[in-house]
């Protein structure tokens, strides 16, 4: 089966995203990219995570042409392709409508550095992408524009969030961290007081993350606040 390992991971992390409460119903989608073929494996459209099988995962090229699979791909495949086109290191993207990221999205707020844990996203603020209808090239273009800023995450206005990374584990871990940071920010905003860390303080935190956690076999570190 083409991209079998990626298909299995998409099924596994889809179930996890649902169990962790990040994706109500069939909302959200996950993709994994193979730079050698230029193909992306992505969740099917509108199939519940607990019912998704590896063969339901659709293989596309970055222009949206179906390479393998009988199901309709996620309507946001164009949005996912933007990450792989923009960052040559991107290998996996998680998109969902998790509660607190979506609250900020509906308030028209970016995700700010109220806690150092946001350094996992390699930036001091997750930008807010202006609203466009879901599944449209306009939304993908707006996301591409926002990704020109440093960082591995986006808040989509009146919609939800995206996180990406060099592995599905890192992208999913960042999605969890963003949701936790968004919850903290929302509570601070509701309480009427919020102390935002400076860019300099966040730069230091980002440096610390490079050697945080356990050293992996490839020499990098597990890093991150929510290692999965």
Residues engaged in binding Zn ion (CB under 5 A): 160
How distant, in Å, are the alpha carbons of 25, 110, 126, 197 from that of 114?
Answer: 30, 11, 12, 6
Q: Which is nearer to Zn ion, 72 or 150 (CB)?
A: 72
Cβ-in-10-Å burial (0-12, 13-18, 19+) of 88 comes to exposed
Letter string b/e over residues 191-212, b meaning 16 or more CB atoms within 10 A of that residue's CB = eeeeeebeeeebeebbeebeeb
Residue 41 to residue 4: CA distance in whole angstroms:
9
Residue 143 to residue 137: CA distance in whole angstroms:
10
Q: Which is nearer to Zn ion, 160 or 173 (CB)?
A: 160
Annotation says 76 is catalytic = yes
Shortest distance in whole angstroms from residue 225 CB to Zn ion: 24
Q: Which is nearer to Zn ion, 160 or 165 (CB)?
A: 160
Listed residue (78, 203, 189, 225) closest to 137, CA to CA: 78
Catalytic residue selected from 5, 36, 55, 76: 76
The CB density around residue 15, as the number of other CB atoms within 10 Å, is 16
Shortest distance in whole angstroms from residue 28 CB to Zn ion: 6
Q: Which is nearer to Zn ion, 27 or 119 (CB)?
A: 27
Known catalytic residues are: 76
């Amino acid at each position: 089966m083409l991209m079998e390992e990626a298909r299995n991971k998409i099924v596994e992390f889809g179930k996890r995203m649902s169990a962790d409460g990040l994706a109500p119903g069939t909302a959200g989608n996950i993709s994994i990219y193979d730079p050698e073929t230029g193909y992306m494996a992505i969740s099917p459209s509108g199939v519940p995570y607990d019912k998704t099988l590896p063969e339901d995962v659709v293989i596309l090229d970055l222009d949206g042409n179906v390479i393998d699979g009988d199901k309709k791909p996620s309507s946001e495949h164009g949005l996912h392709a933007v990450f792989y086109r923009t960052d040559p290191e991107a290998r996996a993207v998680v998109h969902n409508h998790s509660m607190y990221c979506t609250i900020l999205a509906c308030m028209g707020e970016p995700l700010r550095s109220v806690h150092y844990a946001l350094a996992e996203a390699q930036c001091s603020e997750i930008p807010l992408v202006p609203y466009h209808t879901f599944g449209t090239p306009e939304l993908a273009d707006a996301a591409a524009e926002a990704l020109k800023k440093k960082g591995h995450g986006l808040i989509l206005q009146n919609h939800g969030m995206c996180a990406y990374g060099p592995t599905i584990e890192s992208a999913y871990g960042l999605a969890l961290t963003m949701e936790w940071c968004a919850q903290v920010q929302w509570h601070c905003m509701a309480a009427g007081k919020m102390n935002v860390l400076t860019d300099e303080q966040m730069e230091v935190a980002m440096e610390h993350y490079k050697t945080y956690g356990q050293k992996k076999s490839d020499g990098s570190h597990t890093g991150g606040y929510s290692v999965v």
